[in-house]
Amino acid sequence: MPTHDLVVVANRLPVDAHTEPDGSVRWVTSPGGLVTAMESVMRGVDSGAWVGWAGSPGEAPEPFEADGMQLYPVDLSAEEVRAYYEGFSNGTLWPLYHDVIADPVFHRTWWDTYREVNERFATAAAQVASPGATVWVHDYQLQLVPTMIRTQRPDLRIGFFNHIPFPPFELFAQLPKRNQVLRGLLGADLVGFQRERDALNFLTCVRQLLGHAHSHHDITVPGIGSEPARTVTARAFPISIDTQAVSALAEDPEVIERARELRRELGDPKKVVVGVDRLDYTKGIRHRLKAWGELLNDGAIDPHDAILVQVATPSRERVDAYRQLRDEVELTVGRINGDFAPIGRPAISYMHRSFDRREMTALYRAADVVLVTALRDGMNLVAKEYVASRPDEQGVLVLSEFAGAADELRAAILVNPHDIDELKTAILHALAMPEDEQRTAMQSLRRQVLDNDVQGWARSFLGELEAKGRPDEPAAAPLVRLAQGSAPSAEELDAALTAFASTPRILVASDFDGVLAPIVADRDAAAADPQALSALRELAESEGVNVALVSGRALEDLDARTGMPLSVVLVGSHGAEVGALPHDMDAGTLDGDALRMDEDDQRLLESITATLEQIATKHPGAEVEVKPASAVLHTRRARGRGRINATEAALEYARSLPDVKVTPGKEVVEFSVVDSSKGEAIATLARACAADAWLYLGDDVTDESAFGRLGDHDLGIKVGAGDTAATFRVDSPEEVTGVLERLLALRRGEG
Ligand code: ADQ
């Protein structure tokens, strides 16, 4: 699979499927601001990609190219759309993040799906990012993605931008799973918000709920266990529009003519007042209609002189609150028209559909007043589009102070839309504003919008992300010698084994689970292939050969499971425990201190064990395993959500232990009080037996530390699929037995 220097991750891909008359599907780029912004920055990188959902449930289309970007569709089942998108994203987060204008609804199953879908997006992004690439994640649907990507790819630079408001602490604190959401976001190096206030809300939540300190906009996120701390910056990057494109359309003679025509079609009223919104309860459409209806009722507005044009784009029509809103808005419009419309023309012209950019720009040019009365809005691009559409410097913007745009567009008539009287006064003021006053205000608004376009927004975000420097541990990028699925031929492996077998002093080392013993659901039932064990025993008896078994299991367990003679060295707990050494190995070479526990280590281990046991008690089915130098929380048998919650609790606890090496794995979290790895263990053993070359067989991530240390004459064999630093690959433990038997034969000169 090709990889990319810049990867955008957003819920939706920037394309829509259009079905042709012959039934074939064509992809058309959706002309949103984000796409335009990205196009401009993607031109500056060698290769850009976009990961997102293509918009219809079911199997995702194959990756394809559009506008110089490679698009990677992520699939969502119909059930996932319901739980992740309509549910947790738009039924829980959206209302909560917009000041609970509607009641947030929460279901635990929605959360489970949200996590699963976020994981899918993260994996898709991690797979297509080049080493050291930049990944930019967008919006509230994907808040867990930054940390999920970081776990898979610590070499990447990760940015996150929240397009909607971030709520104050008192509201955010109501969100079930609030800490997980914050921790998800803190996987990013840079978290961007629309307004300064959103960034401050986020900083407060992080301090109050996670206890992380911040200085100005920089948060210090402690590492898990002995991982180093990271700095995450959270600040405002107000989004904008493609000002140039809108200006060009607004100057187009056909668009100007269309604006005149629109006014004629509306009956040539003296004043045209316009509202353009997605049909969403956050946009304050009900408040606007109420104010307009009252102004007509009061006689303050004559319906022969002024008309309200309300364009409402269909939105999220399967979510209850949105269906109700549509009914209510349409009922109100009907009632006002019934009460006040002159014969042959409405008092409110209402359209529930989308229009193309040209028609929208013509409408803005035809509008004497635009009403943006959002009760809460991240930014609101309609306000900026209106301003960019008025090179004639005429027109009045009435703007809610609850829209992000109000921070920049100070020359608008700013209103509190909850105050219907104030809103009515603002509308009358706008309708009566003299031309010179309109010009002064519009000039000031235009300076803001012309100087700050969406391309500048994207450049400043990515510039700051870049300036934060490389992630703390570039060396942590996994070394890949064999990519997923690739492997040298069986002949090449045999040639390498032959050369290895003829080396005077060799060390043969192997992992246990997944290599000598097939993986089984019950780890207590794992058993090695007797033939493999017998080949190892015989190798250990051969002249010039040392054999070691290196496992994450406790030493005692490994010993009981393999029954190896004293000539075989056993290394347990990922290198933290070493068994008796045979006479031909030099015990002095072993770094005793690193592997031995002192009293402090022992006390620390006891306190960790006690805490993990408390966690296990609260989540029935979770278990604690105690090894000589580490304690492990196993969550595989925990019931239901306990599995995730217990892991969460363990990781939270891990942050308070800077001297402990914490290794989260699949349904296990291991806390080691002695820092060791299989890689270190192998290197030490190779020195202790003065081996000229060594062979290591392993199957999982912990074995990569050994493969990462392979020298020119050493052999690394990975068992199973996946990217690896090993030089050879076999498919299964049965093949491992074959390799060991072949090596034995070669060493005996029987090859
Ligand atoms: P939205 O809530 O979708 O976006 P907004 O910023 O107003 O809100 O953008 C709407 C866009 O849709 C505008 O470009 C507008 O012109 C267009 N549009 C609306 N109705 C239309 C119609 N009937 N036909 C054609 N086009 C129509 C979220 C946040 C915002 C934030 C943006 C960008 O809620 O606060 O400004 O993301 O970050």
Q: Which string of DSSP letters, residue by residue, matches 243-257?
A: HHHHHHHHH-HHHHH
| C-alpha to C-alpha distance for 172 and 438, rounded to whole angstroms | 40
Locate 437 and state its tokens: 């006053």
Locate 260 and state its tokens: 């005149």
Q: Which residues line ligand 1 (CB under 6 A)?
A: 163-164, 239, 276, 278, 311, 313, 354-355, 360, 377-382, 385
What's the confidence (pLDDT) of residue 590? 63
Residue 453 annotated among the catalytic residues of the structure: no
Percent of the chain with pLDDT over 70: 97
What's the confidence (pLDDT) of residue 593? 45
Q: Kindly give the number of the ligand 1 atom that is closest to the alpha carbon of 405.
A: 36
What's the confidence (pLDDT) of residue 33? 62
Q: Kindly give the number of the ligand 1 atom that is closest to the alpha carbon of 403.
A: 35
208 sits in the region (left: phi over 0; alpha: psi -120 to 50; else beta) called alpha
What's the confidence (pLDDT) of residue 476? 45
What's the confidence (pLDDT) of residue 653? 83
Catalytically annotated residue among 4, 163, 214, 574? 163
Residue 699 annotated among the catalytic residues of the structure: no
Angle between helices 435-451 and 381-388 (to 10 degrees): 110
What's the confidence (pLDDT) of residue 673? 84
CA of 371 to the centre of ligand 1 (A): 14
Pocket mutation for ligand 1, best pick of 365, 373, 382 (most atoms within 8 Å of C-beta): 382
Helix (H, G, I), strand (E, B) or coil at 157: strand
What's the confidence (pLDDT) of residue 473? 46
Spell out, as residue ranges, where the chain has pLDDT lower than 50.
Answer: 472-476, 592-594
| C-alpha to C-alpha distance for 288 and 32, rounded to whole angstroms | 26
Q: Kindly give the number of the ligand 1 atom that is closest to the alpha carbon of 241.
A: 14
What's the confidence (pLDDT) of residue 471? 58
Do the Cβ atoms of 278 and 322 come closer than 8 Å? Answer: no
What's the confidence (pLDDT) of residue 373? 98
What's the confidence (pLDDT) of residue 338? 97
Amino acid at 435: E
E-only strand ranges, 553-656: 568-572, 577-578, 623-626, 630-634
Catalytically annotated residue among 377, 453, 511, 513? 377
